[in-house]
Amino acid sequence: MAILKLINEDKTLADRHAIAEYLETLDIRYEQWTPEHPVEPRASAEDVLEAYAGEIEKLKALGGYVTADVIDVNAQTPGLDAMLAKFNREHWHDEDEVRFIIHGRGLFHVRPKEGPVISIEVEAGDLMLLPKGTWHWFDLCADREIRAIRLFQNPSGWAPYYTESGVDKTFQPICFGPLHIPGQV
């Protein structure tokens, strides 16, 4: 389950309802999904999409999303650092950013137009929906692994626009939860 921190206010939320409620005040949707039938985190993309088809269709109807895919990123992914460098600086999109985490973890930072920057560590079972225009940045955790369903309104229009505010550099890209190194218990 996600952990939400307000670093500069020394406040942590680890309850799903409290997290959803806080994020709702920023127009960010947070949900936890359970599959319609058991599915392995490393099952084929087709099987994963099928297991969550009900939730995906609900969200598509709500937000006008037209496609869903599964993205896989891990330490062995060619060009990983270049890929991460695109997203770990503060940016926004003219599309919603919708991610449902199937496996692994990641750290979103969001800078609301008013109020403190929030840090949200997400893991398997977490859905995050950042509306278009939301200032945010994203890092992987130390295990550098994430698998997620993405939904798009128009995949060809999804590009990062950088704010160049420099705020991202004042936050540590370090996850909060216990470290899981693949292959280690």
* Contact between residue 141 and residue 175 where contact means Cβ atoms under 8 Å apart: yes
Total residues in contact with Fe ion, by rule CB under 5 A: 1
CA distance 28 to 83: 24
CA distance 144 to 76: 9
- Burial of 137 from C-beta contacts in 10 A (0-12 / 13-18 / 19+): buried
Minimum Å gap between C-beta 91 and Fe ion is 6
Residue showing the smallest CB distance to Fe ion in the complex: 97
CA distance 140 to 70: 16
CA distance 141 to 61: 32
Q: What does the longest C-alpha to C-alpha distance in the chain come to? A: 44
User: Of the ranges 8-16, 35-43, 89-97, 109-117, which one interacts with Fe ion (CB under 5 A)?
Assistant: 89-97
By beta-carbon proximity to Fe ion, the closer residue of 97 and 121 is: 97
By beta-carbon proximity to Fe ion, the closer residue of 51 and 135 is: 135
Minimum Å gap between C-beta 47 and Fe ion is 26
By beta-carbon proximity to Fe ion, the closer residue of 158 and 176 is: 158
Q: For residue 76, which of 136, 140, 172 has the smallest C-alpha distance?
A: 140
User: Of the ranges 30-38, 67-75, 95-103, 120-128, which one interacts with Fe ion (CB under 5 A)?
Assistant: 95-103
By beta-carbon proximity to Fe ion, the closer residue of 97 and 126 is: 97
Minimum Å gap between C-beta 53 and Fe ion is 25
Minimum Å gap between C-beta 106 and Fe ion is 11
Minimum Å gap between C-beta 108 and Fe ion is 9
Contact set with Fe ion (CB under 5 A): 97
